[in-house]
Structure 1
Amino acid sequence: MTLVLGLTGSIGMGKSTTAGFFRDAGVPVWDADAAVHALYRKGGPAVAPLAALHPAAVVDGAIDRAALRDWIAADKTALKQIEAVVHPLVGQSRADFIADNADKPLVVVDVPLLFETGGERGVEEVLVVSAPPEVQRERVLARPGMTEAHFQTILSKQMPDAEKRARADHVIETLTLDQTRSAVFELVAKLSGETPDA
């Protein structure tokens, strides 16, 4: 039986890096953001249904995220319409991934807004990655084009870190790469009953 581990954490907490360490340990990782990108690219499953709702959202045969943002800003119903198309497709992508890896003892689903969207109901256990607020802020503000105002807007849409930690089955502090990597490999060994590949 495959154990499905949900990986989540607020912006700047080291989630992508942590997901990479799971891959290094030989654990299959499904990435929600990558799944959405695949739905939106040319020929992707979300293109035709979203084009039917809002033709301006399609540029050169692919979904244009800027056009989606403009639509959401102009139409209060847009987000619900987009979610009605995208969420079932994302759910199908995740279900296919889990089915394709049914022979593995452990798989990870990397979902930024796992708790915010009720996604924890679809996994057996949850891992939250975390770092002190000042480390988080420093990491995020170092990103190209990021401003304090934009950072605060993103934070306002995410569940507070303390609440995520309280609801998690496992928490990994991502202060250094070596420490994070060691913690991931230990968790893989514990959850899968196997020694990681590295």
Structure 2
Amino acid sequence: MVQLKVNQGTPKRVRPFRYEASWSKKEGCEALIKQHWGMTTGHLDPLTGSITGLKYCQEGLKNWSMEMRRNQGALIKEKLSILSSLKETNEGHLYTEISVLQKEVDSLLEAENSKWQQRAKQNWLRGGDRNTSFFHKCASQRRKQNLICNIRDNEGNETTSQKEISQIFQSFFQELFYLIKPKRHC
């Protein structure tokens, strides 16, 4: 009897979705979220509508970020190259063009820096001091910070019910993404 063993390789690890803070500074992010959140209209249950809206937004942001990531590095290199050549040939008449391009490069580099700061924090949590009491205290504190026990609605009424909290979030994001000029609630 001959036994054939085929090496299928290691399966590709599916990374969990994480929203990156740098996305909010990119053009098109807000419109994409509004578009995908708008696909949830018609749900009778606010909780189901919220979960569905988040799933649609997650998928849309994943696809959008992959496309943006492909172009980001090349765009930074291209703009830095153009900026360098403009500075070399400048005799005072290119000040406005250099200034505009420098702001664009600064914005791109700031977004890149923000992305790496966020990922460094994730790496520390993933690969940091795994079994120390310090790590467990940090993780427990983060869990407590991320838990929403109660919330106030627009009228100032406080609620602790998970269903009512879900409804408040649902109405907040509907108002935020459906209005032509969203109100700032910060």
Pair in the same fold by TM > 0.5: no
**TM-score calculated relative to the size of structure 1:** 0.28
Tell me which of the two structures has the higher relative contact order, counting C-alpha pairs closer than 8 angstroms and 6 or more residues apart. Answer: 1
Higher share of residues assigned strand: 1
Task: Select the structure of larger CA radius of gyration.
Answer: 2
**TM-score calculated relative to the size of structure 2:** 0.29
Higher share of residues assigned helix: 2
